[in-house]
């Protein structure tokens, strides 16, 4: 089943001086896939991720999430699509320093108005399954970069997303920490049955994906 489909997607920034970030992108991602979108800086890969995640609208073309034509939806409807289907993991972790790892993982569940006991059970269960149970009551400032990124993956998984979109998730990490983070993504893909899409410029990161989409100058160069 197609979970993400980009159909003739282009993205142009600017009005007087126009910059084409994406040009005529056609791509389908199937349920349960692990896909790496690979390209050098400025190739358009982050723009592609934000459009996949409905955080930005294409200039032309269609974006389907689980069959929903998101280009015809208003902002509230897009927010509902994101909350239902998509979890995000960013390069800079985006954890709240004054909260424990557990409280950070609970955050998406607070937004869903789940009772405190229920959301705590869900968050503890996810941290435990990812081998992070001993970090539950530590604050981000007490964690390494790799541990923080793994907690941010747990937070993305807390809302049981069908899809995780990750933007350069290992860029700020040393190789050992990066490896641990990638194993956590693999676990999310295999055990949680989550479709994973990672944006990267690093061939070692791309190597763990089942499919690699190479992008250059806003166009798909090849898929392997």
**pLDDT digits 0-9 by tens, 157-186:** 998 999 999 999 999 999 999 999 999 999
Q: In the chain, pLDDT over 90 holds for what percent of residues?
A: 94
Give the pLDDT score at 21.
96
The DSSP bridge pattern shows strands 211-216 and 60-65 to be unpaired
Q: Which residues contact 85 (CB under 8 A, 6 or more apart)?
A: 3, 65, 66, 161, 162, 163
- pLDDT, the chain, mean: 95
Give the pLDDT score at 28.
98
Retrieve residue 172's tokens.
């700020």
d(CA 131, CA 141): 19
Structural domains of the chain in order of their starting residue, each with its CATH number: 2-223 (3.40.50.300)
Give the pLDDT score at 15.
85
Give the pLDDT score at 186.
96
pTM: 0.94
Say if residue 22's pLDDT is above 90.
Answer: yes
In b/e form, how buried is each residue of 133-168, taking b as 16+ CB within 10 angstroms?
A: eebbeebbeebebbbbbbbbbbbbbbbebbbbbbbb
CB 139 within 8 A of CB 176: no
CB 182 within 8 A of CB 205: yes
Say if residue 112's pLDDT is above 90.
Answer: no
Give the pLDDT score at 200.
96
| Residue from 79, 34, 18, 87 nearest 207 by CA | 34
Bridge partners, residue 89, by sequence:
166
**For residues 140-169, average pLDDT:** 96
**Helix then strand then coil, % of the chain, to nearest 5:** 40, 30, 35
Give the pLDDT score at 30.
97
d(CA 43, CA 81): 27
Say if residue 120's pLDDT is above 90.
Answer: yes
Say if residue 113's pLDDT is above 90.
Answer: no
């Amino acid at each position: 089943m197609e979970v993400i489909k980009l159909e003739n997607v282009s993205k142009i920034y600017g009005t007087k001086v126009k910059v084409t970030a994406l040009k005529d992108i056609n791509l389908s991602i199937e349920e349960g896939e692990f896909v790496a979108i690979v390209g050098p800086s400025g190739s358009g890969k982050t723009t592609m991720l934000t459009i996949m995640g409905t955080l930005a609208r294409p200039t032309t073309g269609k974006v389907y999430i689980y069959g929903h034509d998101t280009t015809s939806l208003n902002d509230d409807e897009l927010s509902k699509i994101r909350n239902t289907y998509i979890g995000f993991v960013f390069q800079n972790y985006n954890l709240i320093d004054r909260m424990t790892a557990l409280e950070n993982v609970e955050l998406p569940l607070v937004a869903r108005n789940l009772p405190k006991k229920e959301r705590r059970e869900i968050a503890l269960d996810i941290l435990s399954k990812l081998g992070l149970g001993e970090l539950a009551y530590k604050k981000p400032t007490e964690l390494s970069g790799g541990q923080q990124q793994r907690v941010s993956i747990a937070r993305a998984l807390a809302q049981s997303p069908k899809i995780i979109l990750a933007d350069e998730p290992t860029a700020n990490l040393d190789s050992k920490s990066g490896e641990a983070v990638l194993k956590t993504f693999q676990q999310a893909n295999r055990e949680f049955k989550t479709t994973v899409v990672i944006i990267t410029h690093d061939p070692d990161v791309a190597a763990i994906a089942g499919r690699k989409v190479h992008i250059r100058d806003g166009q798909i160069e090849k898929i392997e």
